[in-house]
Structure 1
């Protein structure tokens, strides 16, 4: 008997007895989560795992999902597709898996055809690839944020609030996700009246940034967008460009805009503008869920609490809370916990209150199509974020 059948039976028995199911005694709801816990992206995977663990503990302490505790298995895939796929298949083979989390778009693309045909399990991942809005191809995948293409549109809209006809240079990594939004960004720029005057591709790492800084000086764009990096290369380009007296406003997409990362660049990053999917300034955050995240960060003994959250940490919290919502709704309605039923409930969410994390959420194309634009104020030991509105 699968967990989907057993859960429904447990709920029926609970209702018949007119007594709530205790989370510690009820059938668990199983998650499988792939993370790069070692290798070049271990710094990101470890933060995400901490976010998952704290969010699931919060949910279970509040009674789980309709009385059922979440039971999550984490495995290290080193950000390697073959390891991620093998882990997914191992977890799915038991027949009782309700949700699978992936560490990025390459994993999702690799497993999606088989998941669509055979497993039909609800999935999500940390990547923001532009093609994830193709709901026919990614039938059971939801993105708890906006795509890379959406991010460019948000940054272009911000530019238009400052200049009627802004010019922009785009600096991106020679990776799949670095190149991901370029075609859509060109189309959006043309439509919105933004002129792209330079597209500069760099290596992912180990690159001499001098040539890029000189190109930015010669382009003299009003704005420079960094995209497709993970804490490497772009800070050196930014600092070198400042040394070369480049006066552009520098901007970045989500993975270049974690507060800790930008603060580490130093004074050269003062005035940097980043688009992120979630509220990251936690000290003044309001709303039950944002305050719960803040409390968990204060208790986390691995990193010192700074008043700001890592994007991956918040993403895992929001994903877990969304899962509690839709799985709980399905259980209460007596539905099987299939990918089809759960993605249907994700798509049906309308103005869902994220309680301080990301405003009221309505999914469009199985993703949240809006973000938050921050200005980063960096001066010596002083650091703050100012939310900007398009």
Structure 2
């Protein structure tokens, strides 16, 4: 008779995403066995796209896994590894970060005893993001030595207020990876069937591609239903993304980019500020924002804005000559943009290293909350190598 085994886990919301969190010692050491286990936990691959038989929620924002453990870096408290799980295919993309779930890493680390917080006030948690080799500092509110999860901070895209968690994404100014991997602030892409496309290819937060909305025949005010029902548009967006992945040296060919690297680079589109009605029903005024922005995630339009997408937008906004600063009409170090669920404020500090630009810091606020902790269950056969 087939039996099931329990795997310790914590289910958390971070920003506008949800994911299943683990410590490394809760999972098999073998990465192949580990990935098979994680796929089964979230319910992938699922040809029905609903992940009914797993913890995933049938969207890119709710089909994520996180591993947090003691840090390998002397100046950090914890290592944070993020996996974007494909819904339809047996693939976990470990190539990038999730900025939204970053906000839950500090609270998880404190609850697990990986970080000892002060009795009251703000606990500074220094996070090493292993996917992109970057340091992030989270300020987590605590009271009585425990994480404060309730509060009055409102994050568009999240139904209920919670405690604010400021995040600072740091970049090593001595790093070898160029922010603009092709050496250009703006590229002219020649993709078959599309004609010339102006794009900024950038490494900030995650590898990203930034284009004007008009490139895709869009206004920049669209919401998920309009975009995600248009299969031809999604195919064009994926073609741009896959071609840019090759240009950025992240895939050998476009087929591999689509099949093996669906999480990064991400494609975002921007336009000059325009009024629109967000998915919540609130009206976003053009006078209240500097820019309209939307981003694709795992083949669909994101319901809000990825945290790393916000980092990339902030970085590009602060540097003259990118698609974003050109649409803005000037470079800006503080940006308020409109996304499908509302608005978001993000700031960036940049500097030049020789002829290259470097983002030294990007700041924004998120919130996080534990939704459940205990055990997830998987078939015994999948955990045979857990203690190997």
TM-score, length basis structure 1: 0.24
Highest relative contact order (Cα 8 Å, sep 6+), 1 or 2? Answer: 2
Q: Which structure has the highest strand share of the two?
A: 2
Q: Which structure has the highest helix share of the two?
A: 1
Larger radius of gyration: 1
